Chains A and B, each alone.
Chain A
Amino acid sequence: RGRRNQKGKNRGCVLTEIHLNVTDLDLGYDTKEELIFRYCSGSCDEAKSTYDKILKNLTRKKKLVTDKVRQACCRPTAFDDDLSFLDDNLVYHILKKHSAKRCGCV
């Protein structure tokens, strides 16, 4: 039971969305168009693979020379469809792989 509680506390790696103006992205476009931006957030503390488990154990026992080895990160495993928009000078632009569709601890 204790374990389940802990799991609930650690909000897992999930897809979250936010409504933005295209200009909020700071990619240099002048336009009034908007988008839904989806991103991955949450912890990946639950070691998934044996590799992750070993890393965790070795880090705890201070057996690794460097601490730079990274635990799994919550990242997109698939991207949303392309987004197109017309800018203030009547030029079309297309954003690819700009927004997450699925997330995973990788």
Chain B
Amino acid sequence: EPVLSKGNNCLDAAKACNLNDTCKRFRSAYITPCTSSTSNEICNKRKCHKALRLFFDKVPPKHSYGMLFCSCRDVACTERRRQTIVPVCSYEDREKPNCLNLQESCKKNYICRSRLADFFTNCQPESRSVSSCLKENYADCLLAYSGLIGTVMTPNYIDSNSLSVAPWCDCSNSGNDIDECLKFLNFFQDNTCLKNAIQAFGNGTDVNVW
């Protein structure tokens, strides 16, 4: 049986996108470069990233977040959600670099450097706050997170049964920097502020902020 058989929130978000002229246009504008193979590569990653940044810059959050942060109950839904950014082109790579090395290459790029800083500021967890966020502002956290899509630090969901996310890197070969590397990676993978922000958007429980 096909993976995507029943209806779900991520499907509803995709439908809503294609019925909106702006969302439809910018969606196709990234699907095209992200799925067009070149002579020796799966795609032109640079063009795919650029079009993804444009999508999240230009399309109202109602539609762009709708597809990226939709809430799911089954694999058909989570798989569709994982495919939103066309991970085979924008995310995956032949090798997984060390996260600290990836962070170094991010810092060499103006856009990546500033967006990563925004992410660390706006999605900082704080266990004593009601929202689990130090900044108590889910919208700013989601904006910072989605801002990373289309940079070398592009994050995505790592499995189909949780809201765990990570950039395409791991902490093998970290040597003495293993603690620093895990701290960096866990800020993505195990971040209650970010998880609560995604959940609140998906459930529509934080409606006044959008």
Q: Judging by beta carbons under 8 Å apart, are A84 and B27 in contact?
A: yes
CB contacts under 8 Å to B, within A56-106, are: 81-90, 92, 94
Quick one: CB contact mask for B3-36 with A, threshold 8 Å, 1 for yes? 1110100010011001101001101110110110
Number of residues of chain B lying within 8 A (CB) of chain A: 24
Q: Judging by beta carbons under 8 Å apart, are A92 and B4 in contact?
A: no
Q: Judging by beta carbons under 8 Å apart, are A92 and B35 in contact?
A: yes
Number of residues of chain A lying within 8 A (CB) of chain B: 20
Interface of B is mostly: helix
For the complex, what is the distance from the CA of A35 to the CA of B5, rounded to whole Å? 18
Q: Judging by beta carbons under 8 Å apart, are A85 and B80 in contact?
A: no
Q: Judging by beta carbons under 8 Å apart, are A33 and B14 in contact?
A: yes
Closest CB in chain A relative to B197 CB, distance in Å: 25
User: B83: CB under 8 A from chain A?
Assistant: yes
Q: Judging by beta carbons under 8 Å apart, are B2 and A88 in contact?
A: yes
Q: Judging by beta carbons under 8 Å apart, are B3 and A94 in contact?
A: no
Q: Judging by beta carbons under 8 Å apart, are B19 and A34 in contact?
A: yes
User: B139: CB under 8 A from chain A?
Assistant: no
Residues in B neighbouring A85, C-beta threshold 8 A? 14, 18
Residues in B neighbouring A33, C-beta threshold 8 A? 11, 14-15, 18
Q: Judging by beta carbons under 8 Å apart, are B4 and A90 in contact?
A: yes
Residues in A neighbouring B18, C-beta threshold 8 A? 33-36, 83-85
- Residue of A whose beta carbon sits closest to that of B8: A32
Closest CB in chain B relative to A29 CB, distance in Å: 12
User: A46: CB under 8 A from chain B?
Assistant: no
Given pairs A35-B18, A94-B31, 11 additional interface contacts (CB within 8 A)? A31-B4, A32-B11, A33-B14, A82-B25, A82-B28, A84-B18, A84-B28, A85-B18, A86-B14, A88-B3, A89-B2
What are 6 A-to-B residue pairs whose CB atoms are below 8 Å? Answer: A30-B2, A32-B15, A82-B32, A86-B4, A87-B4, A89-B3
